[in-house]
Amino acid sequence: MSALDPFQTHAVENQPEPFATDNLYRRDPALCEAVAREGAAWAEPALAAYGAAMASEGLDLGVDANRFRPQLRTHDRYGHRVDEIEYHPSYHRLMTLGVEHGVHAFAWRDPQPGAHVARAVLSYLHHQAEQGTSCPLTMSYAAYPVLAKADAIDPQWLSKASAAHYDSRNRPITVKPGVTFGMGMTEKQGGSDVRSNSTRASVAGDGSYTLIGHKWFMSAPMSDAFLVLAQAAGGLTCFLLPRWRPDGGANALRIMRLKDKLGNWSNASSEVEFCNAYAQRIGDEGRGVATILEMVALTRLECLIGSAAEMRMALTQAAHHARHRQAFGKRLIDQPLMRNVLADLALESEGAMVLAMRVARAVDAGGREPREAAFARLATAVGKYWVCKRAPAFVNEAQECLGGAGYVEEAMLARLYREAPLNSIWEGCGNIQCLDVLRALRREPDARTALLDELAGAAGEDDALDAEAAALAALLTRPDALEPIARALVERIAIALQAATLLRAGSPLAAAFCRSRLGGGRRQAFGTLDRDFDWEAIAARLP
């Protein structure tokens, strides 16, 4: 007998096994169905491969990438200004996996129908494993179409933006096989009102510009180049600002400090100063907002995808715990009230995912089909508002499924809870999204028609949805009078679109979703479904 035995106070029991899965894609039947439905079945081998990579590596890498936060190094040991960000190797490995598998460029590498849907799925899988690296991957994806329309920039920027090579070195583009992009719009005096930006751009003799000013939030400051807004002689203009000048010298971009954020710890966000920084104009002077909005439309879609991914992983963690933990003589998952909570979360999660993938298909088809382009302009803002708004409450409910264990940093849910508010804030907060919906309804009759057509596609499938579609059609005849109730309106549109998409997909969760969220059935908290919900149908979809 060991001398320590008398001091052993307990045996470890009634604890779940560490969470593990072989494939985040294959283990998600609703996602697999969405891929086939939205036109990306041809990409399944790539999606399954990334689902396996995120299950085998990504989940573990995410732990250290967030535990060891990036550090700003403004000067080297000799006093030279370097403005570099130091990351843990896990961060760079996540970026390598993301770039090699095409999270940043799948749609640009193989631009066939469904490519944007496939890339959305790659992002959905990546974001479940680690959220912070999603920022530079997303910015790089969204910058590409803006760069593609810029005639005067070095063509290397475009070719290397879609390359399958991640190079973390702070070096000129000429010596790098692949590059990443960030974005700088926000200034301290204006926030979302970018037209009040004070950064000034002066044209140089060779047609380039020099920028003097600041950015209050510069995303992904270790990127090779940034799309930024500044005031030129002709008004607010979009520019490409690289880390290195064409002559091989470091550009006059000064990283002043990193933001100490609530979450998103693996990703550096910064305040920067431009001190006569070299830049090249993209688009006409005075057309900066219109130019960069193409990028913003894609980053807003990414916020929707990211929040849906956080919901999926939070549900995955809660369901895993409930299957392995006992209380009061039963497994948690066999307790009727816990089943109600998990079922309600499953409805919300699948509704978020199918809406995200439907919007991704609209973005994908927008260049070919005007109706899809109109739908994408409206539905991106609708989905970004509602799904991102739901994520924090969703993750908190999943934490409760674990009790106190869900609140400690060793549980992934603590990180997810810190991440959950972010997507509703970045790329325009809730009011901005709702105002954009109203703007689309006022200025683009095709957007209203596309929305109503989308709801009509599920006509006759559910009485409550039919009634809601009719009510929305009546409301939308007077968009100029809707601003005071814009949030309530966008919420109703989002839930109706989720219901219609689930019904058309033939989801076994569709009827319960409609019953619990339409026609006065919705209640304020999760876990408040009526007693006769179909648990077996929902349980078959649980991760």
Domains in the chain with CATH codes: 29-148 (no CATH), 172-285 (2.40.110.20), 290-539 (1.20.140.10)
- The sign of the torsion formed by the CA atoms of 89, 90, 93, 99 equals negative
Residue 495 burial by Cβ neighbours in a 10 Å radius (0-12, 13-18, 19+):
buried
The answer, yes or no, to whether residue 504 has pLDDT greater than 50, is yes
Higher-scoring residue by pLDDT: 7, 48: 48
User: pLDDT by residue (tens digit) across 253-264?
Assistant: 999 999 999 999
List the structure tokens of 366.
């927008």
**How far, in Å, CA of 466 to CA of 459, rounded?**
6
6: confidence class by pLDDT, cuts 50, 70, 90? confident
- Residue 4's pLDDT band (cuts 50, 70, 90): low
Q: How confident is the model at residue 3 (pLDDT cuts 50, 70, 90)?
A: low
Does 129 have pLDDT greater than 80? yes
Would you place residue 1 in the very low, low, confident or very high pLDDT band (cuts 50, 70, 90)? very low
pLDDT digits (tens, 9 = 90+) for 55-107: 999 999 999 999 999 999 999 999 999 999 999 999 999 999 999 999 999 99
What's residue 61's pLDDT? 98
What is the model's pTM? 0.96
Query: Side chain identity at 434, as an amino acid letter?
Result: C
pLDDT greater at residue 107 or residue 193: 107
pLDDT mean over 480-499? 96
Residue 405 DSSP symbol: G
Mean pLDDT of 115-137: 97
Instruction: State mean pLDDT over 431-456.
Output: 95
Task: Copy the structure tokens of residue 229.
Answer: 């807004």
| Burial degree of 27 (CB within 10 A; 0-12, 13-18, 19+) | middle
Please indicate whether residue 294 or residue 257 has the higher confidence score (pLDDT): 257
For 46, the token pair is: 């790539």
The whole-number pLDDT of residue 95 equals 98
